[in-house]
Amino acid sequence: MSGLNQPQREAIHYLDGPLLVLAGAGSGKTRVITQKIAYLVQSCGFNPRNIAAITFTNKAAKEMQERIGKLLSKQQADELQISTFHSLGVRILREEAKVLGYKPRFSIFDSADCAGIIGEAAGTVDKATLRIVQSTISNWKNGLITPEAARHLATDEHQKLAAHAFLSYEATLKAYQAVDFDDLIGLPVKLFSEHPEIADKWQNRLRYLLVDEYQDTNACQYQLLKLLTGVRAQFTAVGDDDQAIYGWRGADIENLKKLPTEFPALKVIKLEQNYRSTVRILKAANNVISHNEKLFDKKLWSDLGHGEQISVTACRDNDAEAEGVVMKLQAHKFEHRAKFKDFAILYRSNHQARIFEEYLRDHRIPYLLSGGKSFFDKAEIKDITAYLRLLANEDDDPAFIRAATTPKRGIGAATLQVLGIYAGERHISLFQAAFEEGFAHRVQPRQLEPLLEFCNFINRTQSRATKEPAHQVLPDLLKAIDYETFLYDHEEERTAQTRWANVCEFANWLNKKGELDNKTLVDLTQSIALINMLDKQTDEDYDAVQLSTLHAAKGLEYKNVFLVGVEEGILPHRESLDPTKLEEERRLMYVGITRAQRTLNISYCERRKQAREFVPCEPSRFIDEMGKEDVRFSGGKQDVPPSKATGSARLDAMKAMLAGNKR
């Protein structure tokens, strides 16, 4: 444990009761968690299988697993339960499914699947309305509010529509033997609350819990943790109230406030030494966050030196801002012989990225965009996944409908409608209903034949998919459904090529994962909704500028940060100007500042082009709050904007200088 500071060592060794570690940005919290796990196993006699470390993202879980792998033997590391909240929920539900009336092979529906069911229950196809209704239901579920309670809570038109749809939505999910992402936490809470003996079993199994990013927990996750820790309360919660930026998706900072009350024996240890940023950057961050009401007093400090002044630039408009950032980035890269991946451009909302992408492309600068459309959201991937879901669970009705009609195979809407009515009357799945004699009497033989052909094909493939390796079954499946021909028949050639290439990439990835983990196609499919595919765009060795929202950048760090669009109405957002929301926006600014290790460049526009008009802008109040002592201001109306020619000449001079140095 060399190289640890005193508070870090104290946090690792403390085992006398519940512990809250207040870990400021860059204070080494992941190191504390992994070292504590090693201490529990190596010095305290804990069996690795009795320890669970819970994170919020697959990436964080993977990083933690890799770090602990260097501290423990492979066998010990493999026995640990290091996962996201949702992965832990799946593990609990698979094992205890029967108690809740589910099969172990229940389906996990993604947001798009759920939207279809909610749209039907709410009787709407309007996308904006559907998004609000879906979000409302999700927030209710995360707040442990039942459909019955929701009816009484609903006030406005959208909430009443959501309350009306909620009960039907839940019943449909259950009928399909499916759960949504919120259920992966909510159902274990229900299970443990209603069955104390099962709660007791899991408390004995997971005897010590470590929870990362505790400030991001919602009401449901908080209850799950309480039920898992039980009266022993053997846990370490690591969090930072200054980085609580997910209130909009149900995270509740009150969970931090409640801890000392609900666990009177709670020990609080603060990690205030920052190992990431220079003194000036931390000073600005501390100044900004000091304007928020504090839950726990904490002040970050660093011994990494004063560092460069923070640059704040006023820009004429959007174009000038993007051009200025790109030119400054190029100049810094040549001057300091840096790599592109040393730079990040951070912004409040996704739409701000577009203009920076344009200028980066114009200057042939490689970049990676975080928060884009998920690979699994592509239509062609969802088509193939529908087949896989059906192989894993023949009661998955949405998957049945998608697979039966893509590609077209003579099963029409009229046939499916009759099938749906019959299945509803019999309270069975569409797949099961297709084989019943009662249904056969309701349709013509020409309607029944292609339906049975499809179902028999699924049965044959399912038999193989449960026994044979994935790489043997999947190519045969793709060939049998002739998906490539379907794409070329329905799309322009270039689009068809792209989509088929995506399918091949997906298939190769699944085959590889199946071989690596020795899993069948069904095994892989059961967890596919929780897997984040690590494609080439997330390769850490790829030398590219990172473009990211502030929310997506949390937990990451970059040598040089450009924080752009720091204006009133953007950061803080125009819809977040009431006091409670404003505090969260200020925490978002704090997160942005503390991503920077060496240099921080902040910019705002004096006017911003919206549609065809220019709208005047004001610098964000957060810029003033940083203080002026460590800030260098430039730009604005009085400054002459740098010309492209001047910028290019400077770059050429730097290139020549570097070339001379190499000789």
So which residues are the catalytic ones? Answer: 29-30, 212-213, 243, 595
Cβ-based neighbour number of residue 134 at 10 Å: 21
Angle at 306 between CA 243 and CA 244, to 5 degrees: 0
Composition of the chain by helix, strand, coil, percent to 5:
60, 15, 30
| Helical spans, DSSP H, in 594-643 | 621-625
Residues in the chain: 663
CA R_g for the chain = 27
Spatial separation of the C-alpha atoms in residues 529 and 183, rounded to whole Å: 13
Tokens of 299: 């002040």
Spatial separation of the C-alpha atoms in residues 88 and 511, rounded to whole Å: 25
Is residue 254 within 8 A of residue 39, CB to CB? The reply is no
Question: Helix (H, G, I), strand (E, B), or coil: what is residue 637?
Answer: coil
Question: Helix (H, G, I), strand (E, B), or coil: what is residue 179?
Answer: strand
Question: Helix (H, G, I), strand (E, B), or coil: what is residue 258?
Answer: helix
Element spanning 616, H or E: strand 613-616
Spatial separation of the C-alpha atoms in residues 149 and 496, rounded to whole Å: 48
Is residue 98 within 8 A of residue 89, CB to CB? The reply is no
Side-chain half-sphere of 652: how many Cα atoms within 13 Å?
6
Dihedral (CA of 406, 407, 413, 416) sign: negative
Spatial separation of the C-alpha atoms in residues 623 and 604, rounded to whole Å: 10
Is residue 601 within 8 A of residue 314, CB to CB? The reply is no
In terms of DSSP bridges, do strands 596-605 and 310-315 run parallel, antiparallel, or are they unpaired? parallel
Is residue 22 within 8 A of residue 270, CB to CB? The reply is yes
Is residue 420 within 8 A of residue 383, CB to CB? The reply is no
Element spanning 205, H or E: helix 196-205
Amino acid (1-letter code) at residue 152:
H
Tokens 């990431």 sit at which residue? 276
Q: Concatenated DSSP letters for 537-606?
A: GG-TTS--EEEEEHHHHTT--EEEEEE---BTBBTTBTT--SHHHHHHHHHHHHHHHTTEEEEEEEEEES
Element spanning 379, H or E: helix 379-392
Residues contacting 429, CB < 8 A, separation 6+: 176, 177, 394, 395, 396, 397, 400, 423
